[in-house]
Amino acid sequence: MRLNWPSTLPCSLFLAYLVLAGGASPVTATEAEPERLQLDPATFASKTTKGYWFVEHFSPWCHHCQAFMPTWDELVRDYEGSGVHLAQIDCTVNGDLCSDHKVRGYPTIIMYKDGIDIGQFQGARIREKLDDFITDKTAISLHSKNGHLVAETEASLDSASDPNPDGTVLKLTPDTFATAKSKGGLFIKFFAPWCGHCKKLAPVWEQLAREMRHQLTIAEVDCDQHKKLCNVEGVTGFPMLFFYGADGSKTEYTGSRKLEGMKGWAERAVQPAVQHISYDDFDGAVASHPVVFLYLYAPGDTSGMATLTNGARPLLGSPPVYTSSSSQFLQRFGVTPSNVPVLLAFKDHDLTSPTSVLHVSPKTTSSDLTSWLLHRRLPSALELSDNTFQEVMKAPGNPLVVLTAVPGSDNFAEHEFMAGNAAKLGVKWKKLGVQRGGSDEEGKRGVVFVWMDQGRWKKWLKSMYGITKPGEVVITDHANLLYFDHTPSGTKLALSEDSLFPTLDAALAGTLHPKHSENLLERGARRMNVFFTALEGFIIAHTFLFCIFVLMGLAGVLLLLKRIIMGDAAQYTQYEKGRID
């Protein structure tokens, strides 16, 4: 600190100034953030060839990385001069380097010795465990250098950096719900104690909490005790499962209630929203996933990465969204450097050309990207099952669904033959749409081909669409509970291009008359239910206003009754005055 002698200042005040300045200097030095060493491909190769290097691979937009930063800064300060060097690699800028290091999520922390990977840190990112890992890999301990630091750094488990530390279900109330929701990474079951399905799910939910320890907070809300909270959160039945992201997003889980299905979905939900991919790994990714998105950007230009990350979060990792700045992708898919950043969609393991392209501009918002991604997340064809039913039938954009009933798995050969035919027709329709100008483009309603096990779903298929045997086909508009089972010429639909494609064209054009999958009584009951559900929501959200409307209505009824009664009395009085007896 630089001090200047003020000639006009009294000596006593100046001495006091010296005392305060001297006392303040150490605080400033102690609270200053440490210098974070950033590595790129060149500096990583030159610096890490000697000694121990503890390297954090991170993304600036990663919520877990931001929560971990204070702990990382502590490590940088405390291990300075210890023989363990700490550095970071920004994977949004050095994606190829992170890909070479097999980074699949953020943050990923790896220990290197003389440039060789000797182990990746796993588990809760708390100070004590990090110290133990470093000691285990390097035999270097703070005890031998700065023993007085140990008691200060053995911090208690922080739920922000270590979700679900005990592997138990967190019980939420209106007092704790908002705080838990604000942290994100929250999977909640809304239930009622008397609900049979809820009772059946309870042990599976507890097991899921154990399986997701240190990964995701598993919670529950008793809607009998906290009815208003459940209504505000849009709970319309029991149990309902919602995932709350760190960005405030909310996604309903509608898949299988078995442990394997929920665990797989939860693990995808906590993965990074976007992942860098190398050119060499892309073909394998497309082969592994029926739908893949690829975001191409100019090297070093990460200005749109935050918007992309926020836009991709509602996908919860399915389908994956990859990023790359490799010029090889531009050459392969005919993208000029002046047209990046650009977002490409690939379907059905087909690398020939993208099915849809979005040129991203500075005006493109995360909401725009979310809408674009969600409208293109379904493959051309897939099996309709417990895990995929809601995702398909309630997909954004309300696509038409070509549904084929196939034999059960006991008749494997026939099952595979019919399912294969449905899949081939779906891919052929997609290619026809691309030739016509893109069936995935804005303003065009999508089409998805699905097959369903007729043996398992026999009753549902018959009651909804009149399907009674394998091989029968309908085109459904499930959102409006409508379907088509005949061609424009009046013949019954069949699993063939000649039968389905003209019918799809007519249905999309609105020139084909649909059938209702509900009878008149069911449609009336559903509309009444929608009305009363909306009324209940209005009452909960605007209780005071509703009371005013009720009072006004009562006042109107009373006034009307008064006028009727007074009118009758006046008429009676008139007759009394005109009596002739």
Query: Do 134 and 194 have their domain in common?
Result: no
Greatest mean pLDDT among 91-95, 308-312, 343-347 lies in 343-347
What is the rounded CA–CA span in Å between residue 412 and residue 152? 63
Please tell me the least confidently modeled range out of 165-169, 265-269, 405-409, 411-415: 265-269
Tell whether 116 is covered by a domain: yes
Tell whether 31 is covered by a domain: no
Note the pLDDT tens digit of each residue in 455-479. 899 999 999 999 999 999 999 999 8
Tell whether 26 is covered by a domain: no
Q: Shortest CA distance to 476 belongs to which of 439, 447, 445?
A: 447
What is the rounded CA–CA span in Å between residue 181 and residue 218? 12
What is the rounded CA–CA span in Å between residue 486 and residue 476? 12
What does the H/E/C string look like for 284-332? HHHHHCCEEEEEECCCCCCCCHHHHHHHHHHHCCCCCEEEECCHHHHHH
Interval 384-403 mean pLDDT: 89
* CATH code of the domain covering residue 324: 3.40.30.10
Residue 552 confidence (pLDDT) above 60: yes
Query: Do 506 and 552 have their domain in common?
Result: no
Tell whether 6 is covered by a domain: no
Query: Do 389 and 422 have their domain in common?
Result: yes
Residue 343 confidence (pLDDT) above 70: yes
Query: Do 386 and 473 have their domain in common?
Result: yes
User: Coil, helix or strand for 424?
Assistant: helix
Query: Do 445 and 508 have their domain in common?
Result: yes
Note the pLDDT tens digit of each residue in 240-296. 999 998 767 788 888 888 998 899 888 888 877 888 888 999 999 999 999 999 999
Identify the bridge partners of residue 89 per DSSP, sorted by sequence position.
Answer: 57
Note the pLDDT tens digit of each residue in 17-42. 444 444 443 333 344 567 889 999 98
CB 202 within 8 A of CB 194: no
What is the rounded CA–CA span in Å between residue 366 and residue 304? 10
Structure tokens of 257?
């209630």
Residue 372 confidence (pLDDT) above 50: yes
What is the rounded CA–CA span in Å between residue 124 and residue 156? 11
What is the rounded CA–CA span in Å between residue 355 and residue 373? 12
Structure tokens of 538?
């209005």
Chosen domain end from 232, 250, 269? 269
Query: Do 484 and 363 have their domain in common?
Result: no
Quote helix, strand, coil % in the chain, to nearest 5: 45, 15, 35
CB 193 within 8 A of CB 224: yes
Q: How does the average pLDDT of the chain come out, rounded?
A: 84
Interval 60-75 mean pLDDT: 91
Q: Shortest CA distance to 504 belongs to which of 413, 399, 359?
A: 399
More confident residue, 13 or 502: 502
Structure tokens of 376?
């293109």
Q: How many domains does the chain have?
A: 5
Query: Do 480 and 415 have their domain in common?
Result: yes
CB 358 within 8 A of CB 372: yes
Tell whether 221 is covered by a domain: yes
DSSP strand E in 378-431: where? 381-383, 400-406
Tell whether 205 is covered by a domain: yes
% of the chain surpassing 70 pLDDT: 86
Chosen domain end from 248, 269, 290? 269
pLDDT of residue 479: 86
- Which domain range does residue 359 map to? 275-374
Chosen domain end from 269, 301, 325? 269
Residue with tokens 């149990």: 239
Residue 444 has φ and ψ, to the nearest 5°, of -110, 130
